[in-house]
A and B are shown apart, each in its own frame.
Chain A
């Protein structure tokens, strides 16, 4: 009987206490994260950042809960902490990339270079931001592939955000035959550019002679459009410019080579 009571006293009740701590702690953390989520969403924080902050807070709370449970089982936390400190160098070296990803994720949250849904180019990858996770930034490419880039890489690379400004300039180039009148071509191009409903009137569309190529004169057309309409206008305007030039009889050249034959004497 004494052995049983001693067992209960030393093992049974502490284990039960830890189970109670863990069970209720788990429920409480779940509740806190639910409340925090509503609070963060209400604060109009970007969705990708909400996920990041929630993961970070959950991770911290669970770590605290586990340490509390360990201390209840009389496992010396200070010993663990000092062991961790002693192994910090090794852990730091082993987890260098992971830790730097977490730290860079925090830096991304603070700097907010993009928000969910923004179309960005990070290094050689372009796509819409889906989520900012603890270790990765998740992008969805236009052909619906999911790309996960480590946060450390995202932070170290130049990020081009195509959605941060509401309007973008679009540069289009058109080649016409040398025989065409440049003024007439410019007038046609300007008319088409100005008449497109998605082209912004301000700043004004611009059309100029660009340079002479081997078989053609190159003109550029610059228009300003809403970032969200960029590709629609790009495809639309390219087609319209070509079609209108063809309808108005402007020759659009193809590469040509003039070959001259020289007749040698006596042959």
Chain B
């Protein structure tokens, strides 16, 4: 048996190899879960979730501005629940970011905007139920602009973070 064969067939080498494979697999699983939860890059995750939120808000807008909106309120409520779910998801990530950087006014501002989104949708649905769907387009236009502003604030915060990193180097 050659020296290499002796080394590679030794128990301690096999244990080393097994441990290496096991640890790499565990690390990849941890990374995968982190990516799913969105903790690797909090601002990027928040941005993605806000994009989805904006899409869901559009669904509410379509439902509320349709001529048959009053008859379709059940569908509106269902989409509103979806809005709340995505608002919570985005807000949670921003809260985690603010936990480390409490003085970031941009992210705090973005969070405040996102936290207010379900209320506007709720009001719109109530408005449809009580008075019909007049003047809702303007409301939703403003909401769209606000969500875009929140995203812009996140981009600004991201840039500032990069600058800080560079300055630390």
Contacts and interface: CB of A to CB of B under 8 A. Distances in A.
Interface in A5-57: 5, 8-10, 12-14, 16-17, 20-21, 23-25, 27-28, 31-32, 34-35, 37-38, 41-42, 47, 50
B95 A13 contact: no
B120 to A, nearest CB: 23
B30 A32 contact: yes
B99 A28 contact: no
Interface residues of B, number: 28
Contacts of A24: 23-24, 26-27
Nearest to B40: A34
A86 interface: no
Given A31-B34, A35-B34, A38-B93, A17 B99 contact: no
Nearest to A4: B3
B96 interface: yes
Which residue among A13, A16, A21, A25 has the maximum number of chain B CB atoms within 10 Å of its CB?
A13
B3 A1 contact: yes
B37 interface: yes
B150 to A, nearest CB: 19
Given A5-B6, A14-B12, A16-B16, A31 B31 contact: yes
Nearest to A51: B99
Contacts of A14: 12, 15-16
A163 to B, nearest CB: 18
Interface of A: 1, 5, 8-10, 12-14, 16-17, 20-21, 23-25, 27-28, 31-32, 34-35, 37-38, 41-42, 47, 50, 72
Contacts of B160: none
Contact of A21 (B23, B37, B40, B95): B23
Nearest to B95: A41
A38 B7 CA distance: 45
Which secondary structure dominates where chain B touches chain A? helix
Contacts of B3: 1, 5
Interface string B19-36: 110011011001101100
A224 to B, nearest CB: 30
A17 B23 CA distance: 10
A38 B19 contact: no
Given A35-B39, A38-B38, 15 more contacts: A5-B3, A8-B12, A14-B16, A17-B12, A17-B15, A20-B19, A27-B27, A27-B30, A31-B31, A34-B34, A35-B34, A37-B39, A41-B96, A42-B92, A72-B19
The 8 closest A-B pairs by CB, nearest first: A24-B23, A13-B12, A31-B30, A42-B92, A38-B96, A34-B39, A17-B16, A13-B16
10 contacts: A9-B12, A13-B15, A14-B12, A20-B20, A27-B30, A28-B30, A35-B33, A41-B92, A47-B99, A50-B99
A5 B7 contact: yes
Contacts of A47: 99
